A and B are shown apart, each in its own frame.
Chain A
Amino acid sequence: MTENDAANYLLSEDKDLDGPLARQREIVMRAVRKHQVRHRWIVRTFSTLFWSNAAGAYILAVITQSETLVVSAIFWLLIGAIVLLHSRLRHIELRIDEVQATLDGLGDSTGSSENTDS
């Protein structure tokens, strides 16, 4: 029996955990989904706010020929772009990490099968 098997056996024999575990995942996942919806709503609201501010300022700048409003439009445009870029870059970074981890896993399994063959 390995140390891992022993730990799993010990855990499976602790019946006090069965009741709370059955409820726990459902409660946590419900809260997680709620949080996810709220998070998306906040991101979308702020992003819409930045873009609409930029568009509004630009339209007003054209109508009133005001340079201050042009600066304001550029400012909101920049903020919107930074927020968008930040979230996109993080997403791309995580996708690269995921591909890298998958490749590492494949490399390891290929290596171990080569060892077995030899």
Chain B
Amino acid sequence: MPHQQTILVIRAQQRRTDAFERLMALHERPLLYYIHRQLGDADRAADVSQEVWLSVWKSIHRLKDPRAFHAWLYQIAHRRMALEYRRRQAHQWQNEKDIGEEDLVAPDAPVDVNLQVGELHGAIDKLSLRLREVVILRYIAQLTVDDIALAIGCPAGTVRSRLHYARKELKRLLEGEHDHD
């Protein structure tokens, strides 16, 4: 995380609202995107996002390492959404089977961005919850694999595996759309 952001986190820990507001300005868009895509409900996503930010403000003084803010923020969002799913009794969240660790490729290989943006958003929406989550955290929120592992509470190998399958699935979906054209 850049030093400027680390300083903002430390200032927010000192209960400075101006620093918190700037921090929020930096992260609110990718965070809302993540919550919105995961919940699929714009109004509920806005409510959950607000609750996450309030929770961040109330507990930021307890964050030991300010450089871990990014992962910590998404950890709070992930937990908050798990609660939301439990509330909705969405069984797919618990029942989706985990993907194996085999057949891994580097998740950091460049992504072809020469696509229609709408198609890409649509393809992301078609991914399963777990795959969608890692794709958004890695490529939209720009978290590292280790940070994603910390945020969603699973081993880094599992994150790499999910990213691999998500990229494969995205490729299949996008090529499928182009074939239809």
Could you tell me which A residues sit within 8 Å of B by CB distance? 1, 3-4, 6-7, 9-11, 13-14, 16-17, 19-21, 23-25, 27-29, 31-33, 35-36, 39, 90-91, 94-95, 97-98, 101-102, 104-105, 108
**Once the chains bind, are B46 and A20 in contact (CB under 8 Å)?**
yes
Could you say which residues of chain A place their CB within 8 Å of the CB of B3? 101-102, 104-105, 108
C-alpha gap A32/B15 in the complex (Å): 10
Contact (Cβ within 8 A) B111 A105: no
* Smallest beta-carbon distance B56→chain A, Å: 9
- Tell me if B's interface is mostly helix, strand, loop or mixed: helix
A/B pair count, beta carbons within 8 Å: 105
Known A16-B36, A28-B50; contact A101-B117, beta-carbon cutoff 8 A: no
- B57, A32: Cβ atoms under 8 Å? yes
CB-based contact A21/B29 at 8 Å:
yes
Q: Are A20 and B58 neighbours in the complex by a CB distance under 8 Å?
A: no
The 0/1 profile, CB within 8 Å of A marked 1, for residues 119-133 of chain B is 011000000000000
Give Cα A25 to B50, complex, Å.
8
Cβ-defined contact, A36 with B17, below 8 A: yes
Taking a contact as CB atoms under 8 Å apart, the answer to whether B17 and A17 are in contact is no
Chain B contributes a number of interface residues (CB within 8 A of A) equal to: 43
Task: Give A96's nearest chain B residue, CB to CB.
Answer: B10
Q: Are B140 and A10 in contact (CB under 8 A)?
A: yes
Of the stretches B18-26, B70-78, B82-90, the one at the interface is B18-26
B42 part of interface (Cβ distance < 8 Å): yes
| Complex contacts, B28 vs chain A, CB 8 Å | 21, 24-25
User: Please, could you name 30 A-B residue pairs with CB atoms under 8 Å apart, sorted by A?
Assistant: A3-B142, A4-B142, A6-B113, A7-B139, A10-B120, A10-B140, A11-B30, A11-B33, A13-B118, A13-B121, A14-B33, A17-B33, A21-B28, A21-B29, A21-B32, A24-B53, A25-B21, A27-B50, A28-B53, A28-B57, A31-B50, A32-B17, A32-B20, A32-B54, A32-B57, A97-B10, A97-B66, A105-B4, A105-B6, A108-B3
Which residues 142-179 in B have Cβ within 8 Å of A in the complex? 142
In the bound complex, CA of A19 to CA of B32 (Å): 11
CB contacts (< 8 Å) of B113 on chain A: these are 1, 6, 9
Whether the pair B140, A20 counts as a contact (CB closer than 8 A) is no
**How far apart sit A29 and B46, CA to CA, in the bound complex (Å)?**
14
Contacts of B80 in A (CB 8 A): none
Q: How far is the CA of A31 from the CA of B84 in the complex (A)?
A: 21
> In whole angstroms, how far apart are the Cα atoms of A101 and B11 in the complex?
11
CB distance from B10 to the nearest CB of A (A): 5
B94 at the interface (CB under 8 A from A): no
Instruction: Return B121 CB to nearest CB of chain A, in Å.
Output: 6
